[in-house]
C-alpha cells in the first residue's frame, strides 16, 4: 500500500464511548464497522500499537494522544487507536488512560488493516503472536495521505502525537 492509494476496506470492532463506561465494571456493547463505510468523507488518524496495556503503548505512546485530542479535533481529525486486542480490552484501556469519547479505541480484527498496510509485528518469541506494527496513518476520505511505521515495536518516534500533529 502506498501513499495516495485508497485504504483497505476491513472490519474493525469498537465499544463506542458512553458515560456508563466511566465505571470499570461496565463493559459496553461492541459493534463492528467497515473502514470504508465509517471513514468515508472524514479525516482520520490511525495510531496502531502492538497491544493495550503494554509498557511502551500504555506509558509512552498513547497518553500524549489523549492529552492532545483537542489539537487533532481542532484540525478536523478523528483519532483511532487500534490494536489486535478485543474490543472490551480496548474499551477498558481507554478508560484506564482517562480518555472518553475524544478518541476511538478499536480492534483491528485479525490485524487485517495492518496486514494490508504492510505493518505487522511478530511477537511470538514473547508469547504475543502476530500483532499490529506501531505506526501512524493519516487518511482523508479513504485516501492514505501519510504513513509512518516505527522500525521497532518498542520505539515511539514517527508515530508520536507530536510527529503526527506536525503532518496535519
> How large a percentage of the chain has pLDDT more than 90?
71
Given a contact cutoff of 8 angstroms between Cβ atoms, the answer to whether 143 and 46 are in contact is no
Residues 6+ apart with CB under 8 A from 37: none
Cell representation of residue 138: 493519516
Asked whether residue 103 carries a pLDDT value surpassing 90, the answer given is: yes
b/e map 31-48, b = 16+ CB within 10 Å = eebebeebbeeebbbbbb
Given a contact cutoff of 8 angstroms between Cβ atoms, the answer to whether 163 and 136 are in contact is yes
Task: Compute the distance between CA of residue 47 and CA of residue 62 in angstroms, rounded to an integer.
Answer: 9
Helix (H, G, I), strand (E, B) or coil at 22: helix
Task: Compute the distance between CA of residue 133 and CA of residue 74 in angstroms, rounded to an integer.
Answer: 27
Task: Compute the distance between CA of residue 27 and CA of residue 147 in angstroms, rounded to an integer.
Answer: 32
Rounded to an integer, the average pLDDT of 26-33 is 88
Task: Compute the distance between CA of residue 11 and CA of residue 51 in angstroms, rounded to an integer.
Answer: 18
Read off the pLDDT of residues 112-123 as tens digits, 9 standing for 90 and up: 999 999 998 777
Residues 6+ apart with CB under 8 A from 67: 161
pLDDT band at 129 (very low <50, low <70, confident <90, very high): low
Task: Compute the distance between CA of residue 50 and CA of residue 74 in angstroms, rounded to an integer.
Answer: 27
Asked whether residue 50 carries a pLDDT value surpassing 70, the answer given is: yes
Domains of the chain: 11-16+28-167 (3.40.30.10)
Asked whether residue 161 carries a pLDDT value surpassing 70, the answer given is: yes
Catalytic (active site) residue 57? yes
Task: Compute the distance between CA of residue 118 and CA of residue 103 in angstroms, rounded to an integer.
Answer: 24
Asked whether residue 32 carries a pLDDT value surpassing 90, the answer given is: yes
| Residue of 15, 45, 52, 57 marked catalytic | 57
Amino acid at each position: 500500500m502506498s501513499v495516495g492509494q485508497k485504504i483497505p476496506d476491513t472490519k474493525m470492532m469498537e465499544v463506542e464511548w458512553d458515560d456508563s463506561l466511566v465505571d470499570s465494571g461496565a463493559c459496553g456493547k461492541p459493534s463492528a464497522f467497515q473502514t470504508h463505510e465509517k471513514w468515508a468523507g472524514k479525516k482520520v488518524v490511525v495510531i496502531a500499537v502492538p497491544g493495550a496495556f503494554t509498557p511502551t503503548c500504555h506509558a509512552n505512546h498513547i497518553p500524549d494522544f489523549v492529552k492532545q485530542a483537542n489539537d487533532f479535533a481542532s484540525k478536523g481529525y478523528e483519532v483511532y487507536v487500534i490494536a489486535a486486542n478485543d474490543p472490551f480490552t480496548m474499551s477498558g484501556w481507554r478508560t484506564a488512560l482517562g480518555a472518553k469519547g475524544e478518541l476511538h479505541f478499536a480492534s483491528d480484527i485479525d490485524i487485517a488493516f495492518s496486514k494490508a498496510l504492510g505493518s505487522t509485528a511478530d511477537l511470538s518469541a514473547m508469547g504475543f503472536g502476530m500483532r499490529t506494527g506501531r505506526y501512524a496513518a493519516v487518511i482523508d476520505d479513504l485516501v492514505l495521505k501519510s504513513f509512518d511505521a516505527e522500525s521497532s515495536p518498542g520505539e515511539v518516534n514517527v508515530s508520536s502525537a507530536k510527529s503526527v500533529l506536525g503532518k496535519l
